[in-house]
């Protein structure tokens, strides 16, 4: 659902499965506008979009963090 609502197509399904065998969502924060449509529609509530008032956007995906705690995407 999050992939479909993203106006910039900044979310995609990973080509690599996680430890549970699922192919989690991954983000491309360079294209992300911070609209948070993905977080609003996510049925699992695992997406968090943070904006700091400038053009910086930080997206965390709980499912991605389970397999790799360093995997937090940030738009420069």
pLDDT digits (tens, 9 = 90+) for 19-31: 888 888 888 878 8
The predicted structure's pLDDT at residue 51: 78
The yes-or-no verdict on residue 33 having pLDDT over 90 is no
Query: Residue 55 belongs to what domain range?
Result: 2-74
Domain count, the chain: 1
Q: Which of 17, 31, 28, 32 is nearest to 68 (CA)?
A: 17
The torsion of the CA quartet 64, 21, 7, 72, rounded to 10 degrees, works out to 10
If pLDDT is split at 50, 70 and 90, which confidence band does 68 have? Answer: very low
Q: Indicate if the pLDDT at residue 75 is higher than 70.
A: no
């Amino acid at each position: 659902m999050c992939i479909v609502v993203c106006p910039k197509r900044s979310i995609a399904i990973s080509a690599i499965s996680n430890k549970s065998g699922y192919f989690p969502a991954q983000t491309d924060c360079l294209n992300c506008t911070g609209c948070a449509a993905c977080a609003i529609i996510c049925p699992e509530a695992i997406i968090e979009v943070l904006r700091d008032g400038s053009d910086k956007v930080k997206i965390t995906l709980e499912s991605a963090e389970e397999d790799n705690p360093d995997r937090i995407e940030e738009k420069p």
